[in-house]
Amino acid sequence: MIKLLIFKTISTFFLLFLFTNCAGKVDKKERIIAKWKVVKVGFESQKTTNDTLPISQNEAEKDYKITFDIRKNGTYLVQKGFHADSGKWSMSTDDRVLVFISDINTKDNATFVLEDISKYDMILSIQENGKKETLTFNIDDK
């Protein structure tokens, strides 16, 4: 009788542990699907180690005004001031690289490294002209 009670208790704790760990885990690809706004932009030069220029949230919102609407159906819409771009997006199998292929202009094609993502924030980086550009996003709740 006591062995059965101990077995049931251990089984219950095991199942509870199993379900709480599985329920809290969200796929990165699922988290990316949202409307994001750029809140911070940073530049790093490969040539010098101290060439970092973080742009404040006010400057990013004023000068950049970039939003990414990343959709579940594999399409995206980017608003950059008065400029808009749309196309298809995909993610690498290791969930580290995002690729945006423009339907409008191939110059707007971009490959980003997913540096970090949480429920409300995302950090992407891109290499262009020998410089690393880092974009910090927040969920756009407008």
Structure tokens at 72: 């579940």
Domain of residue 42: give its range: 26-139
The pLDDT of residue 23 = 45
The pLDDT of residue 82 = 83
The pLDDT of residue 71 = 96
Phi, then psi, of 31 in degrees rounded to 5: -70, -30
The pLDDT of residue 77 = 95
Whether 7 maps to a domain, the answer reads no
Whether 3 maps to a domain, the answer reads no
Tell me the DSSP string of 46-58. Answer: SS-TT----B-HH
Which run of H or E residues covers position 9? helix 2-24
Q: Is 21 exposed, middle or buried (0-12, 13-18, 19+ CB in 10 A)?
A: exposed
CATH classification at residue 89: 2.40.128.280
Residue in this structure with the two tokens 């409300």, named with its chain if needed? 120
Whether 32 maps to a domain, the answer reads yes
The pLDDT of residue 63 = 59
pLDDT in tens, the chain (142 residues): 565 445 445 555 555 554 544 444 568 889 999 999 988 888 776 554 444 455 554 554 455 688 999 999 999 999 988 889 999 999 999 999 999 999 998 888 899 999 999 989 999 999 887 788 898 999 887 6
Q: Could you give the CA distance from residue 79 to residue 116 in angstroms, rounded to a whole number?
A: 22
pTM higher than 0.75: no
Whether 20 maps to a domain, the answer reads no
87-to-6, 50, 90, 130 alpha-carbon distances in Å: 57, 35, 10, 26
How many domains does the structure of the chain reveal? Answer: 1
Whether 21 maps to a domain, the answer reads no
